[in-house]
Chain A
Amino acid sequence: MSPRKKKVEWKRADGRELNELRPIKIESGILPNADGSAYIEMGRNKIIAGVFGPREMHPKHLAKPHMAVLRCRYHMAPFSVDPRRSPAPSRRDNEISRVMRYALEPAIFLERYPRSSIEVYAEVLQADGGTRCASINAATVALVDAGIPMRDLVVACAAGKMDGRIILDLGDYEDKKGEADVPVAYMPKLGKVTLLQMDGVLSAEELEQCIDISIEGCKQIYEMQREALKKKYGIEEEET
């Protein structure tokens, strides 16, 4: 029971390095009925995002005369967690919907479509920590797939602290047992942060460290988003 024994081998629950992402798989254009769509697997998270628009805003009194309205809906399926959750939108769903909107808005040329709406739906099929980041990643790919003009892609990734160590891309266990969680959304080409939340207790230096490694993580995810977007056209490209 000596304290030394605990210190020797500190490993993350799933054996990852401190700054290692979970395995990610992204696909674009998977739903023919939506204008744009994407599917993401980030570790054990499974999320589908669909985009409609720009189209006429209903109800009309909510339309803005000088720009489009971005409407986001984040929703967790009843079977996405154990035990089953109620399918009704919860307080948390509403928060994440809003946070997604704030994260995506700076990237979209909303002013080009006055009086119309762009709708983003993120449906969590399976949750395993960091769904808000994964939803943003999927929503960006879906927005590009819908042909909505954008300044840059938005990439999101969380960092946090567990057992006094700063770690990247927290899973469900680390999210719950850890000391802090910092989701960051980032526009890699413009170098701008569009979302920064913090849950837990961190010192100023630790927070900066968290932001730095999550931006590093974002840059890795950005490459995967690019791959996913190109893959939709890649197969035919080789024929020429």
Chain B
Amino acid sequence: MSACFESRDLVIPGDVLYEGRIRTGDNTCRAEGKVCATRIGLVNYGHGSVSVIALEAGYNPLVGDLVVGEVIDIDLGHWIVDIDASAEAVLNVPDAIDAPFRPDIVMPDILDVGDTIVAKIVDLDRRRTPILSILGRGLGKMEEGLIIRITPSKIPRLIGKKGSMVNMILKETGCMAVIGQNGRVLVQGRTREQEEMVVNVVGKIEREAHTTGLTNRIQEYIKQMKEGGN
């Protein structure tokens, strides 16, 4: 009945985090009465549970997530969309044009292979295939911008507490951004330089996601970059 690490220690798969009965959170598993880590990350003890904040993890699709994906195939009545998950996502025609599917619809005219879309996961079907929808504000096909890919487990860090980090970055650089929960960030700025600034900042956040006081350091970093550019 004891914790084996301090909170926010770096742990590696197989490390015993706790011996005894406790609720297990993300990225942990029970083995022979012990709680072990399953991913590399920072351990978190709190309120009768133990979990690991993963530093490296693939994207696990959940209903309600906003994702940035690429159309990779067109099938009868639906598009196949790559969202960097373990399964490819499906976008049905009624979820794309708000009308039932009719055989005379020319699907490539609505979305073609290679198009980038911002979509919402509305359902996971019985095979855990994500079902997407592009009906709604801010959703749909994206014509312009730059896509940055980061580790999906670092998205919460990029957003910050109540969006503090991303709001600061967008204010400082003057860009627009759509942050997909799947680790793809779509950046739209007025100039190429603005977009590249965001690329650099996101890269820095990804490298230093596990450190504290990051928002202030990023603010400094943007300031430096602005001065360097002028």
Q: Chain B contacts of A151 at CB under 8 A?
A: 13-14, 29, 31, 36, 38
> Interface 1/0s, chain A 127-164, versus B by CB < 8 A?
00000000000000000111111111100000000000
Is B15 positioned at the interface, with any CB of A under 8 Å from its CB?
Answer: yes
Tell me how many residues of B have a C-beta within 8 Å of chain A: 31
Which residues between 191 and 240 of chain A lie within 8 Å of chain B, taking CB atoms? 226, 229-230, 233, 236-237, 239-240
A115 within 8 A of B: yes
In the complex formed, the residue of B with least CB distance to A230 is B10
Check B12–A144 contact: CB distance below 8 A: yes
Report if A146-B38 is in contact (Cβ < 8 Å); known contacts: A190-B31, A237-B210.
no
> When A and B form their complex, what is the total count of cross-chain residue pairs whose Cβ atoms lie within 8 Å?
91
- Taking the closest CB of chain A, its distance from the CB of B19, in whole angstroms, is 13
A229–B40 CB distance below 8 A: yes
| Nearest CB in chain B to that of A225: its residue | B12
Cross-chain contact A56 with B88 (CB below 8 angstroms): yes
Instruction: Give Cα distance in the complex from A188 to B16, angstroms.
Output: 12
A78 interfacial by beta-carbon distance below 8 Å: no
Inter-subunit contact A114/B27 (CB<8 Å): no
Complex Cα spacing A204 to B128, Å:
50
Which of B38, B88, B128, B213 has a CB less than 8 Å from the CB of A149? Answer: B38
Cβ B86 vs Cβ A147 within 8 A: no
CB distance B86 to A68 under 8 Å?
yes
Name A's B-contacting residues (CB within 8 A): 35-36, 53-56, 68, 107, 109, 113-116, 144-153, 187-190, 226, 229-230, 233, 236-237, 239-240
Enumerate 8 A-B pairs (CB-CB under 8 Å) in ascending A order: A144-B12, A146-B58, A149-B39, A151-B29, A152-B36, A190-B31, A236-B207, A236-B211
